[in-house]
Amino acid sequence: MELIIDTWNVLHQTGILPPESAGIGVRGLVSLINASRWRGEKITFICDGTPSENSANGPHYQTVFTGPSRSADDEIMDRVSSSSSSRNILVVTSDREIIRSIKADGAQHIGSASFLQTLIDDQQSPKKQPVRRPSGLSTAHAEKWKQEFGIDTEAIEKLENTPLPKVAKPETTLHSKPKKTSSPIKKTKKRRDVTPDEPILPSSLLDEARKLFREYH
């Protein structure tokens, strides 16, 4: 996301910054931003007048002075209207004319007092480890999805600060493996033919039986 800051409008807000931060100028504003949720974003400070020592330039930010014949308001509105990605621009100002113009062009807006308050809140809140964005999702695409689903910075912070519910681990019972039982093998007794050494009937009786058999045949 790109931030365009109506610099003097922000710095002239009263009752927001603590006494020790009063009159911080552009460089002091940069220091607050670098310790806030906006660190690492592309930022342009738009200032009325000609260049002075009260400016700052770095890898992610620059100071633009509009000169004696052009106002910062016009510069901000022109930059937004001529941008091909105005939806990815966040304008920091409390000027009503600027707000109407940039919103008509699709840009986002935050008031100067609210912006300063976020800087103070971020400075006073415990430091959090930065959340890594997946490498396949660019800043432009992330902002597009945020707008598509109506997700703002406040909603994201609430999600980050909401603890995950504790889920009880399911109880597991150990089941012993059933022992393999082999079906009993029925043993069959082998029948043996036994030949007796002695005849089953007495020999005398056998002789009588033979005689009777011969008489009747």
Mean pLDDT of 109-133: 80
Residue 8 lies in a domain: yes
pLDDT recorded at residue 98? 97
Mean pLDDT of 116-140: 68
Residue 103 lies in a domain: yes
Give CA–CA dist 202/212, Å, rounded: 16
Q: How is the chain classified by DSSP, letter by letter?
A: -EEEEEHHHHHT--SSS-GGGTT-HHHHHHHHHHTSTTTTSEEEEEESBS--SS----SSEEEEE-BTTS-HHHHHHHHHHT-TTGGGEEEE---HHHHHHHHHTT-EEE-HHHHHHHHHHHHHSPP-PPPPPPTTS-HHHHHHHHHHTT--HHHHHHHHHSPPPP-PPPP----PPPPP-PPPPPPPPPP-----SS-SS-HHHHHHHHHHHHHT-
Closest CA to 88 of 75, 106, 111, 74: 106
pLDDT in tens, 150-175: 666 666 666 656 666 665 655 655 55
Residue 137 lies in a domain: no
Give CA–CA dist 134/119, Å, rounded: 26
The pLDDT of residue 27 is above 60: yes
Contact by Cβ (8 Å): 68, 50: yes
pLDDT in tens, 180-205: 555 555 555 555 554 555 555 567 66
Residue 149 lies in a domain: no
pLDDT in tens, 32-58: 999 999 999 999 999 999 988 878 898
pLDDT in tens, 42-98: 999 999 999 888 788 988 999 999 999 999 999 999 999 999 999 999 999 999 999
pLDDT recorded at residue 15? 84
Q: Which two tokens stand for residue 105?
A: 């062009």
Q: How many domains does the chain have?
A: 1
Residue 109 lies in a domain: yes
The range of the structural domain enclosing residue 61 comes to 2-128
Contact by Cβ (8 Å): 91, 4: yes
Residue 92 lies in a domain: yes
Query: Dihedral sign, CA of 149, 154, 155, 157?
Result: positive
Cα dist. 31→10, 25, 39, 208 in Å?
Answer: 14, 10, 9, 141
pLDDT recorded at residue 52? 83
Q: Which two tokens stand for residue 117?
A: 């308050």
Residue 154 lies in a domain: no
Give the CATH number, domain containing residue 11: 3.40.50
Residue 74 lies in a domain: yes
